[in-house]
Chain A
């Protein structure tokens, strides 16, 4: 009986306190502490492809990105492009990059609707 009464009290409290779920479209989709999503800055990248080799999901593809001067010669370089549908948002690429060319931006991709 005690249990049943407590349950009733809980139920009325739940109705009074209001829902905890939030309607869509949501407010800020990214929490302060979330890891975020990797964003590459091609300007800083030197094309070492360390990120592509260590990416656990194989989400980084090195694509041709013009030429670069090494000493006197012009050599073709490849730079990373991230496939966000494969990415597991682990942040390893940002950790291994020797040039800090990848940063974890505090935003996220929504499956549907506007990005925030």
Chain B
């Protein structure tokens, strides 16, 4: 579970909304994502739907190239962002979606007629058009006519480069004094063309490539992709390998959540808290290095197992250190959570309702903070989660404070899971004899895991070659970002950093797809003269 081969439910394009609402009526109330496929003459759309209690359905329809498909926003409010993505990447229009006129991921100057994920799009041609004289690639704020708000309002750009963001992202905030009237997000500043690039590399190399989608939940990307590929191959990893994967996955969750908890301090201007939490977190980083050999990109998963075993002495040290961490972490978080100033700055800030969270198809702690126990580890256990004893932490209010509580609670649960893994590591050899370098039988599979930020979804399609035919990644942040924009309305500027980041956004994860210049490897190197030219414009 958690992964499987895809069995399509076929539908005609014009029946899509009806078919979707029928499935919704059958309990498939969560839209995971929409995958686009280049099928030659037509573009395939796969709507991946999930039941909150487990179970996934895949609805497929083929639309002629350059045609139109009916929008699903009437059935799933959150669908519009996925439709925009397909529109960007495949040039398909969705009738009824009001956002078809603007770009989601691609830069505004990207040529209209070269959708990047079509198989016959040539990177060279795109490059020519992009660098043609006269192309201006400035992304202005996507707002026009501020007067529709009020004469006193001003548009404050928040990002792409801003001290509150670790990664580039843009929000146009329409503020009146300190109050936010509206927030309009614009993503896509860090496209690296990962999905396209994955089609040009072997499965083995893809694991490393996909890990680099994100520096924080890197292992989950490698893991999810591997789970899908293993399904295509009909392969099962040894039990010990599953345990080691789970171990690293949980360590990753701890380090991701503690990083976020520290950053909450930073975002509210309490930098000492940030430093203290990061001091504590260092233990986990050491553990990750101990287990996987690297601090950031763990690179431990491989097809059919893991790349390194964790034997006796190492395992003992993991158990020892994690207990030390638990003590320090509980003390520190206990101290911080009882601070009046902390409660005042987080409680009731950025509040949202369970209805919003469901309608916008949010995932992860954001969803759990309003009381939905939606956790893939529980509803569709993968790896060793079926054997472990843990509970899903939920909150009840949906604000920054309850998110802090949920994430802190999850860290404690993860610590207990790590302890269980250390105590019950099954015997055997988890490392496959040789790295997998063969071809994969034609077919398509999906996998989903519970990354630190929420449900992570990978779709892999093979055409019987050394490299996949299509890889689609839906990261949790993309599912949650609209909620952040929604929750910003009516807040004050003081709370913007906390509200935007309460979903624990990982913007680089969300922006993945652009034409990769495969092959030529040519780079544009800026010379000193270029810098001088650029400077003179000042």
**A–B contact via C-beta, under 8 angstroms:** yes
Instruction: Report Cα–Cα, A7/B336, bound state, in Å.
Output: 8
Whether the Cβ atoms of B338 and A2 lie closer than 8 Å is: yes
Residues of the B chain whose Cβ atoms lie less than 8 Å from the Cβ of A91: 293, 299, 307
Interface string of A25-37 (1 = CB under 8 A from B): 0000001011110
Bound form: Cα–Cα A1–B276 in Å: 20
Docked complex Cα distance between A10 and B279 (Å): 13
Pairwise interchain contact A54-B205, C-beta atoms closer than 8 A:
yes
Contact of B339 with A34 in the complex, beta carbons under 8 Å: no
A53's closest neighbor in chain B, by CB? Answer: B202
Binary B-proximity of A1-43 (CB < 8 A = 1, otherwise 0) = 1111011001100100000100000000001011110000000
In the complex, which residues 37-66 of chain A have their Cβ closer than 8 Å to any Cβ of chain B? Answer: 54-58
Cβ of A31 and Cβ of B289 under 8 Å apart? yes
B interface, over-half SS: helix
- Shortest distance between the CB of A50 and any CB in chain B (Å): 9
**Least Cβ distance of B137 to chain A in Å?**
27
Residue of chain A at shortest CB distance from B291 = A33
Whether B340 lies near A92 (C-beta < 8 A) is no
The reply on A77 being an interface residue by CB < 8 A is no
Q: How far is the CA of A36 from the CA of B293 in the complex (A)?
A: 8
Q: Which residues of B contact A31 (CB under 8 A)?
A: 286, 289-290
Asked if residues A56 and B205 are in contact (CB atoms below 8 Å), the reply is yes
For A50, the closest partner residue in chain B by CB is B437
B279 touches A20 (CB 8 A): yes
Chain A contact surface mostly: loop
Interface size on B, as a range, is 35 or more
Per-residue CB proximity of B431-445 to A under 8 Å, as 1/0?
Answer: 000110100000000
Interface residue tally on A, bucketed by range: 20 to 34
Contact A95 B435 (CB under 8 A): yes
Complex interface: chain B residues within 8 A of A55 (CB): 205
B290 touches A90 (CB 8 A): no
Between A4, A11, A55, the greatest number of chain B beta carbons within 10 A of the residue's beta carbon is seen for A4
Q: Is the CB of A34 within 8 A of B289?
A: yes
Contact B307 A95 (CB under 8 A): yes
Interface centre among B202, B205, B286, B437 (most CB of A within 10 A): B205
Q: With contacts A35-B294, A54-B435, A95-B307 known, is A7 near B299, CB below 8 A?
A: no
B276 touches A10 (CB 8 A): yes
Tell me if A82 counts as interface (CB < 8 A to partner B).
no
B335 contacts A92, C-beta separation under 8 Å:
no
A89 near B335 with CB under 8 A, answer no
A57 touches B276 (CB 8 A): no
B297 is an interface residue with CB less than 8 A from chain A: yes
Q: Establish whether residues B293 and A33, one from each chain, have CB atoms under 8 Å apart when the complex forms.
A: yes
B340 contacts A54, CB within 8 Å? no
| A34 in contact with B294 (CB, 8 Å) | yes
Contacts of B279 in A (CB 8 A): 20
* B315 close to A (CB within 8 Å): no
Q: Give the CA-CA distance A36 to B289 in the complex, in Å.
A: 11
Is B282 on the interface with A (CB-CB < 8 A)?
Answer: yes
Q: Which of B204, B293, B339, B521 has the most CB of A within 10 A?
A: B293
Roughly how many angstroms separate A88 CA and B218 CA in the complex, as a whole number?
A: 14
B325 to chain A, nearest CB (A): 14
Q: Is the CB of A54 within 8 A of B204?
A: yes
Q: Does B130 contact A (CB under 8 A)?
A: no
Instruction: Scan B20-53; emit 1 where CB is below 8 A from any A CB, else 0.
Output: 0000000000000000000000000000000000
Q: Are B435 and A89 in contact (CB under 8 A)?
A: no
B339:A54 contact, CB within 8 angstroms: no
A45 CB to nearest B CB, Å = 18
Q: Is the CB of A96 within 8 A of B435?
A: yes
Whole-angstrom distance between the alpha carbons of A7 and B340 in the complex? 11
CB-defined contacts of A88 to chain B, threshold 8 Å? 208, 212, 297
How far apart sit A1 and B339, CA to CA, in the bound complex (Å)?
Answer: 7
Chain B: minimal CB distance from A14 (Å): 7
Which residues of B, 316-368, contact A by the 8 Å Cβ criterion? 332, 334-342
Whether B332 pairs with A34 at a CB distance below 8 angstroms is: no
Residues of B within 8 A of A33 (CB): 289-291, 293, 314
The answer on a CB contact under 8 Å between A7 and B335 is yes
Nearest chain-B residue to A4 (Cβ)? Answer: B339
Knowing A33-B290, A54-B204, A90-B208, say if A3 contacts B340 (CB, 8 Å). Answer: yes
Could you give 16 example pairs across A and B, Cβ below 8 Å? A3-B339, A3-B341, A4-B339, A4-B340, A6-B334, A6-B338, A10-B332, A14-B276, A20-B279, A33-B289, A33-B291, A33-B314, A34-B293, A54-B204, A90-B208, A95-B435
Besides A3-B341, A10-B276, 4 other CB < 8 A contacts?
A20-B282, A55-B205, A89-B294, A92-B435
